[in-house]
Amino acid sequence: GDSVTQTEGPVTVSESESLIINCTYSATSIAYPNLFWYVRYPGEGLQLLLKVITAGQKGSSRGFEATYNKETTSFHLQKASVQESDSAVYYCALGDLTGNTGKLIFGLGTTLQVQP
Amino acid sequence: AQTIHQWPVAEIKAVGSPLSLGCTIKGKSSPNLYWYWQATGGTLQQLFYSITVGQVESVVQLNLSASRPKDDQFILSTEKLLLSHSGFYLCAWSRDNERLFFGHGTKLSVL
């Protein structure tokens, strides 16, 4: 079936350190999966961080980057230098939104704690 | 600008009691609407979706029902709560099927 596996949290890093949150996926029923990273900051709703719809492409937002790798079925989230304000829960997801069902398959979420 | 509002923010309910959670979207006509749920320690999973008023499709059977009485309103309900219904409920809408916009969610504790 379709599934997403991501780094188990919590992940704790110090400010200005680099970050990678791993995400791998299995898309057996989705012909052309899109890949997403969503984030939930404390006290806020779940919001889209970045999205990539084509294999081989890279998405970026707020200093975060993720590359859609079809060969390794991965979509790892990286940032060169984290800030305390990046502390949040990060969700990797896959789906195909073109068909109106709006179905996204989410990972369990990774809690990131950035220490000052 | 479009806004999505979920209510209530949190609920503590007894097993066997009824439940009604709501979601309203303003600023977008005829949105596709969705209910997602996350059990404690579990992943977010889609429960229902609706592409038009009066039509709701069920994705997962959890002894819950959903209705869309108005274009901008999506209701999740059950007449009899189970312990397993505890978790975090998220309403979402989509624009042009490119991304989902989520509400702040409702935390439900069933005791």
pLDDT over threshold 90, residue B7? yes
| CB–CB contact B105 A46 (8 Å) | yes
How far does the CA of residue A97 sit from the closest CA of chain B (Å)? 5
B51/A97 Cβ within 8 A: no
Give pLDDT tens digits for B75-92.
999 999 999 999 999 999
Calculate the CA dihedral of residues B53, B92, B45, A50 and round it to 10 degrees: 140
Q: What is the pLDDT of residue B57?
A: 95
Rounded to whole angstroms, the Cα distance separating B11 from B109 reads: 6
pLDDT of B96 above 80: no
Per-residue pLDDT at A65: 98
Buried-state track B89-108, b at ≥16 Cβ within 10 A, e below 16: bbbbbbeeeebbbbbbbbbb
Given pLDDT bands bounded at 50, 70 and 90, which one contains residue A29? confident
Distance of CA B105 to the CA centre of its chain: 8
The arithmetic mean of pLDDT across residues A25-30, rounded, is 91
Q: Which residues of B touch A38 (CB under 8 A)?
A: 102
- The percentage of residues in chain B with a pLDDT greater than 90, rounded to a whole number, is 83
Structure confidence at residue B9 as a pLDDT band (50, 70, 90): very high
Confidence of residue A102 (pLDDT cuts 50, 70, 90): confident
